[in-house]
Amino acid sequence: MKKDNAPESSASENPKKSREFFEVRIPRFSFKDTSTNVYLVFVLVVFAFLLGMLTNKVMYLEKVSKSNTANVSAQAGQAVNPTQPPPPPQVVDVAVGKLPILGNANAKVTIVEFSDFQCPFCKRYFDDAGKQVQEKYINTGKAKLAYRHYPLTTIHPNAQKAAEASECANEQGKFWEYHDLLFGQQETWSPQSATDVLTSFTDLSGQAGLDTTKFRACLDSQKYKKNVDDDAAAGTTAQVDGTPAFFVNGNRITGAQPFSEFQKVIEQELKK
């Protein structure tokens, strides 16, 4: 072989030639070239912008996917939050209790009311929808009303004694008369102290035509405390979570709803 014809060598075998090879390929990325620097900065800015848009898009799609999953679960009747208790049943078999029924005992529709004499929302029902229900359905013999105690003693400190006072009025045959006086004068006795309110309850018994001495003795004895507690326990069993609460032939209505809500359910029951 001629000396001037050197044998072919691989890049790994000739480091010097290898360096020359890379030096030929890299110049376009050299940061010594100002125009190249501007080009690279532009490319990086565009790339960063596109990457940000892509990231936001992915986050948006994940959010939409989670929202759709929650909606589908809710529509399917699945609990999205497994720690949240299920809502109370809409229809419950509730007894009428021990107090006298208001209205025709044979009426087709039975309304059971769990109430608190010191509750302002219960008074709102008494003043508004309650009067319309009584006029249209109870007085006409289409429905009857059973009152049951559910005193919220943690926020209404006089509610328990008011309930016991109504039981003492019932002992003399004047429950509904006393019931109306308690709600009618709620704003007077509600803010009173535990001592003063007993005097007010006794005064109301006189307005209802009761023997005030017997009434006060009954109230002081707490003889009907168990009746009140039994009603409250029945309400808890029916999952009453606030007052007033109603069961129209077992159909739950919660709160001081307008008359139209009661009318709708009562009319449905009358058609059955």
- 55 and 109 in a single domain? The answer is no
- 62 and 163 in a single domain? The answer is no
- 111 and 224 in a single domain? The answer is yes
Contact 102, 141 (CB under 8 A): no
- 29 and 148 in a single domain? The answer is no
Per the domain annotation, does 93 fall within a domain? no
- 195 and 265 in a single domain? The answer is yes
Which pLDDT belongs to residue 225?
A: 98
Q: Nearest CA to 148 among 234, 208, 226?
A: 234
The tokens 């209790």 sit on which residue? Answer: 97
* Per-residue pLDDT tens over the stretch 219-240: 999 999 999 999 999 999 999 9
- 260 and 193 in a single domain? The answer is yes
Per the domain annotation, does 95 fall within a domain? no
- 64 and 113 in a single domain? The answer is no
Which pLDDT belongs to residue 22?
A: 46
**Domain count along the chain:** 2
Amino acid in position 184: G
Q: At what angle do helices 159-171 and 225-237 cross, to 10 degrees?
A: 120
- 163 and 34 in a single domain? The answer is no
DSSP secondary structure of the chain: --TTSPPP--GGG-HHHHHHHHHHHSGGG-TT-HHHHHHHHHHHHHHHHHHHHHHHHHHHHHHHHHHHHHHHHHHTT--SSTTSPPPPPSB------SSPPEE-TT-SEEEEEEE-TT-HHHHHHHHTHHHHHIIIIITTTSEEEEEEE---TTT-TTHHHHHHHHHHHHHTT-HHHHHHHHHHTHHHHTTS-HHHHHHHHHHHHHHTT--HHHHHHHHHHTTTHHHHHHHHHHHHHTT--SSSEEEETTEEEESS--HHHHHHHHHHHHT-
* Per-residue pLDDT tens over the stretch 55-105: 666 565 665 555 554 444 444 444 445 567 788 899 999 999 999 999 999
Per the domain annotation, does 4 fall within a domain? no
Per the domain annotation, does 23 fall within a domain? yes
Per the domain annotation, does 75 fall within a domain? no
Amino acid in position 217: A
Per the domain annotation, does 83 fall within a domain? no
β-pairing, 143-149 vs 109-115, is: parallel
- Give the pLDDT mean for 261-271: 98
CATH number at residue 209: 3.40.30.10
Per the domain annotation, does 76 fall within a domain? no
Per the domain annotation, does 91 fall within a domain? no
- 135 and 188 in a single domain? The answer is yes
Range of the domain at 250: 102-270
- 39 and 143 in a single domain? The answer is no
* Per-residue pLDDT tens over the stretch 27-58: 555 545 566 666 666 666 666 666 666 666 65
